[in-house]
Amino acid sequence: MNTELFARDIGVAEFDNIEEMLERLDPSYPVFCFWPETLGARARKFVESFPGRSLYAVKCNPHASVLDSLYHGGVRHFDTASLSEIAAVAERFDDVNCYFNHPVKVRAHIESACKIYGVNDFVVDHPNELRKVLDIVPADAVIQVRLLVPSEHAVYEFSEKFGAKEETAVKLLQAIEASGRKPAVSFHVGSQCIDVISYEKALRLVAKVLSIAGVAPEYINVGGGFPSYYREGVPPLDTYFSTITTTAKSLGLENVEFLCEPGRALVADGCGLVVQVQHRADDALYINDGVYGCLIECTSRQTVSPARGLGRRRTLSKEMRDFRLFGPTCDPLDQFRYPFKLPADMEEGDWIELGVLGAYSVALDTRFNGFGVDASIALRGRSTYDFDGNEHVAGRNKIAPQPGVSTQFPPHPRVMD
């Protein structure tokens, strides 16, 4: 991929590295950074190595430049959860498919998805939603039944809100087949799932439900959940892919087509955020983005960003210490209970590069109190915290990996985790 042409094509400023960007922009505002090369490499990894069709879960990061980078890396299928996500994708690219993979949909949105954008794949987890979908979708539509599976190894649990229990799933699959539509199965093991056993267990459940229902599925969608490397090692993606292949074989499902719809693992390490310190008080640094902006995931121990300090027109000390970070809004929730190890002499005006921030970051920026992230830039080469999707090599750009976060500041009474 010619990243230079690509960045210019989409009208985003492009820099060789973060230091060059800071020198030229001297930003007092937070800057969302993305590396088309790392995003493209992640896309290629899924497209070439996942044993089936790879969709991108747009909700994870709908930034146009991120979508473009994944498209350039070969992604042609998109998990879209709303009409506006479908429109954003279908109106941007000519040769792609959208899947309406939200178990609860607005009737008018289903209708528009079918008639305007030609969407032909839907998901349900309840008989009432199936009735709604059957009222509207074409005769050759694929309807996936989202099966309830345990998410015990995931940082972010999904099993409370969506998913049909076994008996319901059996009935839904049979009803879909009886309607003449094509039945399929999907599940989600939870986000940042750090043990492949979850996929194995879920597939066993899928096999059981299919066998009781007596239905041959159009495909099995194993969802997202594939982890990214923050500050603690995770199994390589190939382990997930080979577990899915081996388990499918052992269950006699090797001839069924498999789909996946990752968000995090495609985009997390290809993006970062540069924030500026606006104020220092002892061990507290007040920065210009926080939990109401792009940093909500830094409130969970296992998805705290790796960080490095960058001095404003000076070289920072080699001595490091733990700092407590506070976001820019007036709400006391806007703080982080896990420490960030940074140069001991950080002060007003210095910057912090927060890495592995492609997932659930800009997508969740609320603009509360008038703060938010407006500036985006592209960077050449691999990202600062690129881990190659397969090896734990944070530090390929000479940044030492940070140890896992083991300590925490006393929790604020209202701080979430």
Ligand X SMILES: Cc1ncc(COP(=O)(O)O)c(C=O)c1O
Nearer to ligand X, 262 or 339 (CB): 262
Quote the least distance from Cβ 198 to ligand X, whole Å: 11
Quote the least distance from Cβ 2 to ligand X, whole Å: 28
Nearer to ligand X, 224 or 343 (CB): 224
**Whole-number Å distance between alpha carbons of 22 and 377:** 11
Nearer to ligand X, 55 or 342 (CB): 55
Q: Which residue has its beta carbon closest to ligand X?
A: 224
Quote the least distance from Cβ 224 to ligand X, whole Å: 2
Quote the least distance from Cβ 381 to ligand X, whole Å: 25
Nearer to ligand X, 189 or 287 (CB): 189
Nearer to ligand X, 354 or 359 (CB): 359
Nearer to ligand X, 228 or 329 (CB): 228
Query: Radius of gyration over alpha carbons of the chain, in Å?
Result: 22
Nearer to ligand X, 60 or 86 (CB): 60
**Whole-number Å distance between alpha carbons of 157 and 408:** 22
Nearer to ligand X, 27 or 150 (CB): 150
Burial letters for 92-110: b for 16+ Cβ neighbours within 10 Å, e otherwise? ebeebbbbbbbbebeeebb
Residue in the structure block whose two tokens are 């699959």: 173
Quote the least distance from Cβ 101 to ligand X, whole Å: 5
Quote the least distance from Cβ 64 to ligand X, whole Å: 19
Quote the least distance from Cβ 154 to ligand X, whole Å: 8
Quote the least distance from Cβ 58 to ligand X, whole Å: 9
Nearer to ligand X, 63 or 308 (CB): 63
Positions that interact with ligand X (CB under 6 A): 57, 59-60, 79, 101, 188, 191, 223-226, 261-265, 359
Quote the least distance from Cβ 123 to ligand X, whole Å: 7
